[in-house]
Amino acid sequence: MKEFTTAQIRNVALVSHHGVGKTSLAEAMLFNAKATTRLGRIADGTTLLDYAADELQRQITINLKLAQFEWQGHKINLLDTPGYPDFVGDVYSALRVADSAILLVRGANGVEVGTEVVWEVVRQEKTPVLVAVNMMDKEHANFGAAVRSLRERLGINAVPVQLPIGQAEAFHGIVDLIENKAWTFSGKGMEEKSESAPIPGDMADEVAEARNHLLEEAATGDEGLMNKFLETGELTVEEIRRGLTLRVVQRDLSPVFCCGAYHNQGVRELLDEVVDLLPSPLDVAPVKGKANGAEIVCRPDPAEPLATMVFKTLSEQHLGDLSLVRVYSGHLEAGKELANTTRNRSEKTGTLYHLVGKERLECKTAVAGDIVAAVKLRETHTGDTLADKARPVLLAPPDFPTPVTAECVRPKSKGDEEKMAQGLNRLHDEDPTFSRAYEISTKETLVTGMGDLQFDVMVDRLKKRFGVEVLLQRPRVPYRETVRGTAKGEYRHKKQTGGRGQFGEVHLRVEPRKRSEGFAFLDEVKGGVVPNQFIPAVEKGVVAGMEKGPIAGYPVVDVAVALYFGKHHDVDSSEMAFKIAAESCFHQVMMESSPILLEPIEEISVRVPEEFLGDVMGDLSSRRGKILGTDTDGSRQIIRALAPTSEIYKYATHLRSLTQGRGMHSAKFSHYEEVPRELTEKVVAAVRAEKEAGANAG
């Protein structure tokens, strides 16, 4: 691939609801650009982009893909993203580095559930957007209805720059409102061609009205254009494009196109406008980072010091990890020593590649604004910054969403724990929304993520790529134990076995502390009844007793324990004797201090269309949730609530069902609260039953 300047680069992300044809559009673009000799089909496994075994098996896009090609003297870096909400992390990665996005909607459906999901990411990243109404050749396609849904459900200033000639089975051309020309399609499949044609007479009024609206919107982007339009009622083609580009970059207008990507209808015309209307890296605000406490602006200038970010890690069977890198300033070369400012380590770049899906072309250098793939980065992971050592700037990584669901994971075969851990870590590098953690109190390894489909894929990859089979099951709730009252007690540990015995007597007082204040040990011993050298052993015994509380074996929190009296023996007393005495005494006294069970409470934010507000609030209340309030964000209602962790297992799946897939939520740990008495009895009974089952099995 030849070299391009920063001004000739277009970094474009493809985003949409699943099944709307992003990959088909990308494959058609590659075919038109002569980057491939055939239109790849997902159904027969011939695509350049969806090539992973699990993608071919499921016939969906799972991983972010990069397709780089030339069109009209420009380099287009096309980022094909997954459409399923479970893999939305890759949408965040793509939009973090893209300068613009193409939002696809289905001609027959307009805005769908997944459209709303990705639109939230587009809004968050403030990405300029072009809209393509795809599948205009399919049954029930309705261009006008699709445009209205964009305006009504997403609040987009959607302005058609094309109108379809015919719809559904009758779709056979487009009217270009910018150039005021019509194009009709002929041929089938790869032979599909666009031919100039007169604008149909029955569309004359519709075209005139739509074009006048387009001119008004284009003129709004520039005072000079507005003055000319008001005076003459006309703008040149170049002026229309200039005005639209200004509005697109300002994110207050999204031009709308129509196409049938599967049959390569309207794709060439769309590509032309990607070059003409969408911004280059020079047209958008430069990224900002920090170095030595100061803010640094990384301008897209090849002469500046290098600043790059790894936004995606792909695992290639023969090449190992492949890191997708966006160059924000300077120029990136193979074999260069750089600073990984995220991890404060040194990194040497290996071979660099241009990617066309699974195919790659070696490249020597990448200029500011470009995207390349790098291999053999040993110290660098997704979200890391690589920069010139002379200016060690740190860039903000993608702002990935908080995981919304969790499962306990364990290997089917004993001895596979280490292999499982290594596989989970590798999968986290590829998709940071998927991660693992170890819960000490329940002794479980947990995986967290965005949904069941993501977990299914990860389980499959663990088996096929890392050779370890795992089981997923509901995690135990990490309860805690504490006290509401104060009590005193004593315990004597005495053991005589013929030689030196064991003796230690402690008198303890247990009292509550405020929530989250933690543990405090108080030494109130007077007169040396417990020698100083044994007091640390008493504290160790109490701490050991707190690891498994007396109610149900959960960790004890937020208590103060005072050692106020005791006895010792000059010969038989030892640290071990006092430790044993303290542990037993603590459990004994705690049971006299009005012990209670605590449960974790999650702070939940649920975002739903207004028509589902009542149902969702009622459902949260039925889960022992406490509604904190509601806010309005456009056409959406945001419910803020607190709910016990035990009540929101698989809540993401339930919420999708309750809201026809349109509800989204996030949750994070808030605090611990007392478990109602009747539920405490159930928890204790379940723990006892589990212990008995384990004993019988043993």
Structural domain includes residue 1: no
Residue 600: predicted pLDDT: 96
Residue 38: predicted pLDDT: 84
Residue 633: band (very low, low, confident or very high) from pLDDT cuts 50, 70, 90 = confident
How much is the average pLDDT of 159-184?
95
Token digits of residue 400: 């990935």
Which amino acid makes up residue 517? E
CB 340 within 8 A of CB 312: no
Residue 639: domain span: 599-678
Supply the mean pLDDT for the chain.
Answer: 93
Token digits of residue 15: 């985003």
Distance from C-alpha of 323 to C-alpha of 338, rounded to nearest angstrom:
15
CB 472 within 8 A of CB 408: yes
How many domains in the chain? 5
Kindly report, residue by residue over 450-503, the tens digit of the pLDDT: 999 999 999 999 999 999 999 999 999 999 999 999 999 999 999 877 677 899
CATH classification at residue 658: 3.30.70.240
Co-location of 453 and 486 in the same domain: no
Structural domain includes residue 615: yes
Structural domain includes residue 251: yes
Structural domain includes residue 401: no
Residue 318: band (very low, low, confident or very high) from pLDDT cuts 50, 70, 90 = low
Assess whether pLDDT exceeds 70 at residue 191.
no
CATH classification at residue 156: 3.40.50.300
Structural domain includes residue 698: no
Co-location of 294 and 347 in the same domain: yes
Structural domain includes residue 37: yes
Buried b (16+ CB within 10 A) or exposed e, 484-510: eeebbbbbebeeeeeeeebbbbbbbbb
Residue 344: band (very low, low, confident or very high) from pLDDT cuts 50, 70, 90 = very high
587 burial class (0-12, 13-18, 19+ CB within 10 angstroms)?
A: buried
Co-location of 193 and 94 in the same domain: yes
Distance from C-alpha of 42 to C-alpha of 355, rounded to nearest angstrom:
19
Residue 188: band (very low, low, confident or very high) from pLDDT cuts 50, 70, 90 = low
Token digits of residue 176: 């270009």
Listed residues 209, 244, 277: the one ending a domain: 277
Co-location of 373 and 463 in the same domain: no
CATH classification at residue 365: 2.40.30.10
- What's 365's DSSP letter? E
Structural domain includes residue 693: no
Distance from C-alpha of 640 to C-alpha of 654, rounded to nearest angstrom:
17
Residue 641: predicted pLDDT: 97
How much is the average pLDDT of 145-164?
96
Kindly report, residue by residue over 193-208, the tens digit of the pLDDT: 678 889 999 999 999 9
CB 340 within 8 A of CB 380: yes
Co-location of 271 and 301 in the same domain: no
Indicate left, alpha or beta for 533 from its phi (over 0: left) and psi (-120 to 50: alpha). Answer: alpha
Kindly report, residue by residue over 18-48, the tens digit of the pLDDT: 999 999 999 999 999 999 888 888 777 788 8
Other CB atoms within 10 A of residue 668 CB? 10
Co-location of 463 and 506 in the same domain: no
**pLDDT: which is higher, 192 or 519:** 519
Q: Residue 661 in 3-state DSSP?
A: coil
Co-location of 552 and 629 in the same domain: no
Kindly report, residue by residue over 422-446, the tens digit of the pLDDT: 999 999 999 999 999 999 888 999 9
For residue 165, CA distances in Å to 131, 140, 247, 615 come to 18, 15, 26, 43
Co-location of 521 and 549 in the same domain: yes
Listed residues 576, 593, 610: the one ending a domain: 593
How much is the average pLDDT of 105-126?
94
Residue 78: band (very low, low, confident or very high) from pLDDT cuts 50, 70, 90 = very high
Assess whether pLDDT exceeds 70 at residue 380.
yes
Q: Residue 436 in 3-state DSSP?
A: strand
Residue 697: predicted pLDDT: 62
Residue 187: band (very low, low, confident or very high) from pLDDT cuts 50, 70, 90 = low
Residue 209: predicted pLDDT: 96
How much is the average pLDDT of 654-673?
92
Structural domain includes residue 686: no
Residue 257: band (very low, low, confident or very high) from pLDDT cuts 50, 70, 90 = very high
How much is the average pLDDT of 292-314?
94
Assess whether pLDDT exceeds 70 at residue 588.
yes
CB 599 within 8 A of CB 477: yes
Co-location of 524 and 667 in the same domain: no
The angle, 0 to 180 degrees and rounded to 10, between the axes of the packed helices 535-547 and 575-590 is: 50
Listed residues 370, 395, 420: the one ending a domain: 395
Distance from C-alpha of 375 to C-alpha of 22, rounded to nearest angstrom:
27
Kindly report, residue by residue over 522-563, the tens digit of the pLDDT: 999 999 999 999 999 999 999 999 999 999 999 999 999 999
Co-location of 581 and 619 in the same domain: no
Rounded to 5 degrees, what are φ and ψ at 85? -55, -30
Residue 373: predicted pLDDT: 95
CATH classification at residue 583: 3.30.230.10
Distance from C-alpha of 86 to C-alpha of 433, rounded to nearest angstrom:
9
Other CB atoms within 10 A of residue 698 CB? 5
The closest of 102, 96, 58 to 80, measured between CA atoms, is: 102
Token digits of residue 230: 């008001």
CATH classification at residue 449: 3.30.70.870
Co-location of 157 and 294 in the same domain: no
Assess whether pLDDT exceeds 70 at residue 101.
yes
Kindly report, residue by residue over 640-653, the tens digit of the pLDDT: 999 999 999 999 99
SS3 content of the chain, % helix, strand, coil (to 5): 30, 35, 35
Co-location of 459 and 493 in the same domain: no
Worst-scoring range by mean pLDDT, 30-44, 130-144, 601-615? 30-44
